[in-house]
Amino acid sequence: MPGLGAAAVDRRGVPVPDGLEGLRLDAAIARMFGLSRTAAAAVVDAGGATLDGTVRGRSDRVRGGSWLEVELPAARRPLTVEATPVAGLEIVHDDDDIVVVSKPPGVAAHPAPGYTGPTVVGALAAAGYRVSTSGAAERQGIVHRLDAGTSGVMVVAKSEHAYTVLKRAFREREVEKVYRALVQGHPDPLRGTVDAPIDRHPRRDGVFAVVAGGKPSVTHYDTEEAFRAASLLWVRLETGRTHQIRVHMAALRHPCVGDPLYGADPTLARHLGLSRQWLHAARLEFEHPADGRRVSFTSPDPADLAAALDILRAES
């Protein structure tokens, strides 16, 4: 197999999950092996991927059950899922196709390089849930994510059909995602839309920013309650970029309270007893993958966020 050189690669062969049927080869490799889309494309361009023994291009489509062999950079080590119970993770809904959870803060959706904390995937494994096998091994069943520091409602696919349907629904912006966010100051106007492209920050690792030529990103917000130093917003995402609400609120000069990564004043967070950003995924609405009926799931404000609001209300 041509490609990256015998001493520099980790060769692996696996069948393509049925849930990835029709996906581009580079996108399928990215999902199955936990690579970025750019890294996956580089593997394909180097001749490091075959389907059923034939070298393919990045835009070729995969078929479920095809045998995929890849040459990955040797430094890339597979992430593993630790089946570990997570205190505070609640099951909101469970059926044959999906499980909906309310995620506590301090929990990531799935394992990631450099992260050693608890995950939703690990918690579900510890509880005996079987989820879709589509996607990379460490993120099976995951069709969308919340930041580790963000609490709230998430849906995980249990069946391969649900994985395919929900991934498409999120991609086509057919899922309604509503958050509550406490931001510094008072947005003007009180209700508005931020339509600004987002991409990785050009100079800061792990940080995103409004960047010309970035991915289209649209956030709608509406002020629910105003306090002396902060405002409580309802936020609806039209797109789903990494850190989108945090980036867009910071771009308005109203960062989420408790979010120093994006410029929030740590003094206010300490005063409110917050150890993370005040951001909560409150509602998720979508068509159920089994029968197409519209379903909606909610998660109330967790105790730390509710306590912060109590302090602000008492001072107003």
Q: What are the beta bridge partners of residue 297?
A: 284
Q: What are phi and psi of 38, to 5 degrees?
A: -65, -45
Give yes or no for a contact between 160 and 134, defined as CB atoms under 8 angstroms apart. yes
Measure CA 48 to chain center.
Answer: 28
Estimate to the nearest angstrom the gap between the alpha carbon of 155 and the chain centroid: 11
Does residue 189 have a cis peptide bond before it, meaning omega lies within 30 degrees of 0?
Answer: yes
- Told to judge if 301 belongs to the known catalytic residues of this protein, a careful annotator would answer no
Q: What is the largest CA-CA distance in the chain?
A: 68
* Residue 223: both structure tokens together: 């002020």
Q: Which member of 97, 147, 259, 301 is catalytic?
A: 147
Residue 22 Cα distances to 28, 57, 78, 298, angstroms: 9, 14, 25, 33
Q: How far apart are CA 238 and CA 195, in angstroms?
A: 10
DSSP class of 67: E
Buried b (16+ CB within 10 A) or exposed e, 110-136: bbbeeeeebbbbbbbbbeebebbbbbb
Calculated CA dihedral for residues 146, 149, 150, 155, nearest 10 degrees: 40
Catalytic residues: 147
